[in-house]
């Protein structure tokens, strides 16, 4: 049984703890919050004795890994601290903000002999694997439209005059960083690096992108990514090949995959039943990776994280 601690007290941390509990392969031993009140309350909610308001103190504990779900801007410095205490790190997306930060993390992780994993929960599910295996069946890919358009309750707060971190540039928020990163990482995982990238942000008054359209160009096809935190999307995502079309109901998680065979004019449903809580799959993979010291899987996931941040970094200037 592995042991771990958490940084951040938002709902996503509770979801991660619940997902890990379901794996029965790791045990939460302590939590961190900036305030004593929240730390105590969060510890009680999750039935752990140990809580901290000082990250450095928490990192002195004898644990295997740290789960980080703080505002994006803080990931790098918190990861550095954790790695230097020889902790494996599971960090929420986007893990880092530049390829330079990625290089520092990668070098440090090697030096301290630990693994780090970016929380791309959508890429570890059985239905995503099914989608990936299905791509060759649709023939040469010619285009794709991937969308993650989800109205955020924090936008209401923003409109009321508050400053939720995810709607500020100071905390590296915005639609691309928060939601666009899901389809972007999916596109890179499925098709590799694009040749070019362009982002068309819809900026709010404070300059942060509330919505945006990201266009990835490849040699033979183009991928259009729509992301938004200020409107609600209802259309599925599609990948168009010369022989057929793959449609998924949502990017994260996928619960329906429809293959349309163009010649036969027939639809086939390919999705499997999977856990509603998709974080279980990424948590399981991470714990497996550190338990088995699976360097190959670690290097593959790190390389994908490098490519995602490399291309994010190229357009972040346009959204910030």
Ligand X SMILES: NC(=O)c1ccc[n+]([C@@H]2O[C@H](COP(=O)([O-])OP(=O)(O)OC[C@H]3O[C@@H](n4cnc5c(N)ncnc54)[C@H](OP(=O)(O)O)[C@@H]3O)[C@@H](O)[C@H]2O)c1
Residues within the interface to ligand X (CB under 6 A): 8-10, 12, 33-34, 38, 69-72, 74, 92-93, 119, 121, 165-166, 178
Of 9 and 301, the one with the shorter C-beta distance to ligand X is: 9
Classify residue 136 by its DSSP letter.
Answer: G
In whole angstroms, the minimum distance from the beta carbon of 221 to ligand X comes to 28
In the complex with ligand X, the residue whose CB is nearer, 83 or 141, is 83
| Least distance CB 45 / ligand X (angstroms) | 12
Minimum separation from the CB atom of position 55 to ligand X (A): 10
150/297 with CB nearer ligand X: 150
Distance CA 113, CA 77 (A): 18
Distances (CA, A) of 153 to 84, 91, 167, 201, 230: 37, 23, 11, 20, 9
Which CB, 6 or 63, lies closer to ligand X?
Answer: 6
Could you tell me which of 206, 124, 143, 186 has the C-alpha nearest to residue 311?
A: 186
Q: Name residue, tokens 């990514």.
A: 225
Distance CA 115, CA 109 (A): 6
CA 191 from chain center: how many Å? 18
Q: What is the CA radius of gyration of the chain?
A: 20
- Cβ atoms of 69 and 78 within 8 Å: the answer is no
Q: Smaller CB distance to ligand X: residue 165 or 203?
A: 165
Query: What is the rounded distance in angstroms from the CA atom of residue 155 to the CA atom of residue 178?
Result: 13
- Residue sitting closest to ligand X (CB): 10
* Closest to 6 (Cα-Cα) out of 67, 47, 60: 67
Distance CA 308, CA 76 (A): 16
In the complex, least distance from residue 53 CB atom to ligand X, rounded to whole angstroms: 8
**Looking at beta carbons only, is 71 or 233 nearer to ligand X?**
71
Q: Position of tokens 């599925």?
A: 236
Is the CB of 260 or the CB of 301 nearer to ligand X?
A: 301
Least gap, CB of 96 to ligand X (angstroms): 11
CB of 196 to ligand X, least distance (A): 26
Nearest distance from C-beta of residue 168 to ligand X, angstroms: 9
């Amino acid at each position: 049984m592995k042991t771990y601690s958490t940084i951040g007290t938002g709902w996503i941390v509770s979801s991660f703890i619940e997902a890990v509990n379901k794996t029965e392969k790791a045990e939460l031993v302590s939590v961190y919050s900036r305030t004593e009140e929240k730390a105590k309350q969060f510890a009680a909610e999750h039935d752990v004795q140990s809580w901290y308001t000082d990250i450095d103190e928490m990192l002195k504990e004898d644990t295997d890994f740290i789960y980080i779900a703080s505002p994006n801007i803080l990931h790098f410095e918190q990861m550095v601290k954790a790695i230097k205490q020889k902790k494996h790190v599971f960090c929420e997306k986007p893990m880092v903000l530049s390829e330079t930060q990625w290089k520092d993390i990668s070098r440090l992780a090697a030096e301290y002999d630990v693994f780090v994993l970016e929380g791309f929960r959508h890429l570890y599910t059985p239905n995503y694997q099914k989608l990936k295996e299905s791509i060759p069946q649709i023939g040469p890919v010619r285009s794709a439209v991937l969308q993650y358009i989800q109205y955020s309750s924090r936008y209401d707060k923003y409109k009321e005059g508050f400053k939720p971190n995810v709607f500020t540039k100071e905390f590296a928020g915005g639609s691309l960083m928060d939601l666009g990163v899901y389809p972007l990482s999916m596109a890179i995982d499925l098709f590799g690096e694009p040749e070019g990238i362009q982002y068309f942000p819809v900026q709010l008054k404070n300059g942060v992108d509330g919505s945006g359209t990201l266009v990835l160009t490849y040699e033979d096809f183009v991928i259009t990514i729509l992301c938004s935190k200020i409107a609600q999307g209802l259309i599925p995502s599609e990948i168009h090949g010369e022989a057929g079309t793959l449609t998924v109901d949502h990017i994260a998680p996928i619960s329906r995959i429809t293959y349309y065979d163009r010649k036969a004019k027939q639809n086939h449903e390919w999705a499997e039943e999977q856990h509603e809580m998709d974080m279980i799959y990424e948590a399981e993979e991470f714990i497996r990776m550190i338990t088995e010291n699976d360097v190959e899987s670690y290097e593959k996931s790190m390389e994908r994280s490098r490519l995602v941040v490399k291309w994010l970094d190229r357009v972040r200037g346009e959204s910030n």
